[in-house]
Structure 1
């Protein structure tokens, strides 16, 4: 009972860290300055006249539309985009034999899965709003994409070659005739498509000579690219902080009760 109490208290401490982190993220999202592309140009120009170019920084959020003249093409669905992630997961079953403390052997069939192909890519793009456009460098951003595919295809493909649209992959011998019996393959793909309204929360900078939205130098400032509104994403982070807080309180409460019961008992 004492061990269980300690485990609950440790879990409470971890949840306390999560709650503090989410609360800080929510505070920063609320502090981010709402602006448009021309606002950034005006601010950068004013600062450069005072102290020179290259040193201006501003934590901001913008709402606009994704544009690029050289889009990516997603692997499975061939969707024009600026970011995609494609995954193939093999689902299988296998016979497992286990021996208990009395030496009795039991046999069971268990299901499992393994990722056999995973590829993602992202490129810089322009965020266009009614006032103009600004460059966005998505490197290290937390991107919330759109799911365009989640499909399960049973069995092994003929000839040992997986294919989905333009994608193809030769399977290894273990995937075809190994001890694990293949049930099929699940294809998943997410994208950040073109011409969609988009929120970017990040650091506006002129360090490269042009204005770019990029990852903030401070880790506590979130860098987010999402199709959700600023209000929705802020509300979601705030809700996560509240859930973590009450979960922390519950874990500490249960942990203390269990420890006291162990001591009294």
Structure 2
């Protein structure tokens, strides 16, 4: 047993304890909160706000809500790679390339090798407003700070062609010198138009319209998901268990390091 072993092992064990007894419990608590939260339809919320408006209280109203509806946006929106109609998208382009590296081997000889590397060369996301709609009522979703769960979309690879120019999201791409471009991977994640949504967040009225956004109270959930409530809960419970077991494993590893590292 050494001071280094005690230090490293202690850090690992402390990190494991935090994951197993703090972080996992926080996730379990959040799952329980969602499980017992009552779902309210958008028409019901609209009627409640109309009543508050009549009393002059509508603009100051804030409340945590759980609601369901379908995804909408203004105008026509399509994903950039596959041109799929959608209410929201995130897209990226990743370059796959090779780069020569000079290194010294174990015998002291200078050698070169070819490394395959990847870099994100461009990304974009839709700027059009996202709405959740139900029964003729819709609420705008302010996505900043949301735990956003999207559907996987286009995922394709195209080999690089030297005889053509490349432009991604309106910006011309120039191949960096000193590397050999192999190809590009195009990826999309999206909320399809009309996709059923499960949303948990803080509802308010702003600019004459309903909005759902990040709660003003710390540690309250803000979820926008293409999954059902049941699927979201199952995922959260599974994540809590995984975090707990990983924490236990770190505690055991930390104890072993503290005892056996010399």
Give TM-score scaled by structure 1 length: 0.83
Q: Deviations over 1:4-52 (max 9, x none)?
A: 5245325414534542442343233234330111221233344456672
Identify if the C-alpha distance between structure 1 residues 89 and 9 changes in structure 2 by more than 3 Å, giving closer, same or farther.
Answer: same
Q: Deviations over 1:113-160 (max 9, x none)?
A: 11111111243344232x432212232123222222111111234233
| 2:16 equivalent to 1:12 | yes
Aligned positions, number: 256
Instruction: Tell whether the 8 Å contact from 1:24 to 1:220 is kept in structure 2 after alignment.
Output: no
Distance 2:61 2:32 in 1: 22
Shift of 1:188: 0.9
TM superposition outliers: structure 1 runs of 4+ over 4 Å: 46-51
Match of 1:40 in 2: 45
Match of 1:198 in 2: 197
Instruction: Tell whether the 8 Å contact from 2:95 to 2:118 is kept in structure 1 after alignment.
Output: yes
Match of 1:62 in 2: 67
Instruction: Please state whether the residue corresponding to 1:206 is helix, strand or coil.
Output: strand
Instruction: Tell whether the 8 Å contact from 2:17 to 2:248 is kept in structure 1 after alignment.
Output: no
Give the unaligned 5+ runs of structure 2: none
The alignment's C-alpha RMSD in Å is 2.7
Range with bigger deviation, 202-211 or 76-85: 202-211
Shift of 1:162: 4.6
Instruction: Tell whether the 8 Å contact from 1:22 to 1:238 is kept in structure 2 after alignment.
Output: yes
Instruction: Please state whether the residue corresponding to 2:209 is helix, strand or coil.
Output: coil
Instruction: Tell whether the 8 Å contact from 2:74 to 2:129 is kept in structure 1 after alignment.
Output: no
Distance 1:13 1:172 in 2: 48
Of the candidates 145, 149, 152, which is equivalent to residue 157 of structure 2? 152
Instruction: Tell whether the 8 Å contact from 1:92 to 1:184 is kept in structure 2 after alignment.
Output: yes
Distance 1:125 1:86 in 2: 16
Q: Deviations over 1:174-213 (max 9, x none)?
A: 2xxx221111111111221111212111112135443322
Give TM-score scaled by structure 2 length: 0.84
Give the unaligned 5+ runs of structure 1: none
Instruction: Tell whether the 8 Å contact from 1:82 to 1:192 is kept in structure 2 after alignment.
Output: yes
Match of 1:172 in 2: 174
Shift of 1:64: 1.4
Distance 2:70 2:139 in 1: 12
Distance 2:43 2:62 in 1: 15
Of the candidates 98, 118, 123, which is equivalent to residue 123 of structure 2? 118
Shift of 1:229: 0.5
| 2:82 equivalent to 1:71 | no
Distance 1:170 1:42 in 2: 50
Instruction: Tell whether the 8 Å contact from 1:82 to 1:122 is kept in structure 2 after alignment.
Output: no
Instruction: Tell whether the 8 Å contact from 1:33 to 1:59 is kept in structure 2 after alignment.
Output: no
